[in-house]
Amino acid sequence: MTTTQLKARRNRRRLLITLFSAGLAWQTQAIAAPEFDFREVTVEQLQSAMDSGELTAEQVVRHYYRQIAQHNRRGADLRAVNQLLPLDEALAIARQLDAERADGSTRGPLHGVPVLLKDNIDTADGLANTAGSLLLKDHQPSQDAFLVKQLRAAGAIIIGKANLSEWANFRSTASSSGWSSIGGQVKNPFDTTRSPCGSSSGSAVAVSANLIPLAVGTETDGSLVCPAAINGIVTIKPTLGSVSRSGIIPISHSQDSAGPMARSVSDAVYMLEAMLGEDAADSASYSVSIDYSAHLKDDGLAGKRIGVMRELTGYHAGLDMVFEGQLQVLVNAGAELVEDVSFSNGRNWGQDEFTVLLHEFKYDMAAYLAQHPKLAYRSLADLEAANNEQADAVMPFFGQELFTMANARTDEQQEEYEAARERAKQAAGKDGIDATLAEYEVDLLVAPTTAPAWKIDLVNGDHYLGSASSPAAVAGYPHITVPMGFVQHLPVGMSFFAGANSEAVLIEAAYAYEQASQQRRAPALMPRSH
């Protein structure tokens, strides 16, 4: 491709983003929508409709482009999506997958299903990988992240990038979750005056609002499970290394995990299975041979001993009331509850975790930047300086205190960091989750995921009250959250977590709970004025 052609292609993409940001449906309005009810549709239902000829992947793609055009910058004005692939390119992929299906070949449950990626994951399709920052608005990676290759091989159609908390919420101590200088403020679809939590805000909101069937998010500590719970959807934060971290703009290699975001446990499982795979470029990556979908069992709670982590309650009365009521659902489905479980050795990893995140952010970011020589930045210090230079655009509401603290870390502190990392992993893992499971002889632990959504506050920042995310996040263990009801009009979630590689057990429990409770409800998508 000539230089002139490349420039023309980039200009066309910029035009697309401009039109999209203005909320225009453009090409999607030209063809009538199929008479198919896409509301709350599952992956299995989409596959059935495409297998029977009721739908094509091309029609499915067109539908979700319409949905995004209707509610991303117009309608509910959710600001959940930063970029879309040009429609003609997405349709070309869909037609190829339709042709494969017509020839009797499908690649699996995601064949022909549109997917959004959090905007910190590399793609080689011309979509920028921005981390939500205007500093990276022209950063177009030369190759797909490993998990993106896996999704494409499974037949998923990557149509665009979801908004997020800028730099995955690791820039400021006073940030507003879901705000980025690229995409603006993501809004909770159940009440657009309230926070979507973060940092995988746009991924969660797009799925919850039926703008997309599936999305990928990432978590360091809470960035999958908090937005999932607050927006009324399911996520699975997998065991560290089971999903490759390569090609993702990092915070911490000790804790970063990508995971699926979906409206049901089964959809999340199908997507997780597609993302798995051993990646030589990721030192923690390993192969998973377990068929997770075989653990989607209606009786998955029968006979399970479950520890009730009341130590992780008490910060919101309404949340606790919902949680108490839903515990009976577990019992009715055959589980045995072990009450008042607590961490025998306390929750004493917080300061060490923060040391690890600061240290690894500086050095992991430099390693990522080194993989992209066309970028103007080579270090966190370069990014910090660029933020200062463009402060009016990138820091209109809050600063970069975390950048400054991380950038102050030095090589001389390596030994201190390594000791902190070892202590944190030991405290949350072996002496935390593992010891608690053994002491109380339980299969898994449950707790409320986090409090209901707070008001968006660009002056004071987020208003977190409490969360169940840290033990599994610091240990690198799996964590699933499932909708468990509402506090007034706001959804809340139940967390299921256990030891390393316990996804199969957690999937059984989470799926059986979901089937018995049926607490997922779609938002009305009507903006609130109070």
Q: Which of the residues are catalytic?
A: 118, 199, 223
Residues β-bridged to residue 448: 494
Q: Is 124 exposed, middle or buried (0-12, 13-18, 19+ CB in 10 A)?
A: middle
**Among residues 313, 225, 231, 240, which one has the least CA distance to residue 510?**
225
Tokens of 134: 């205007």
Tokens of 132: 């939500």
SS3 457: coil
Which letter does DSSP use for residue 431 in this model?
I
**Among residues 132, 51, 167, which one has the least CA distance to residue 402?**
167
**Residue 32 to residue 403: CA distance in whole angstroms:** 48
* Cβ atoms of residues 27 and 87 within 8 Å: yes
**Among residues 384, 413, 152, which one has the least CA distance to residue 274?**
152
- What is the secondary structure of 60-96 as a DSSP string? HHHHHHHHHHHHSSSTT----EEEE--HHHHHHHHHH
- What is the secondary structure of 109-120 as a DSSP string? TTTT-EEEEETT
Tokens of 147: 């998990």
Taking every pair of Cα atoms in the chain, the longest distance, rounded to a whole number of angstroms, is: 68
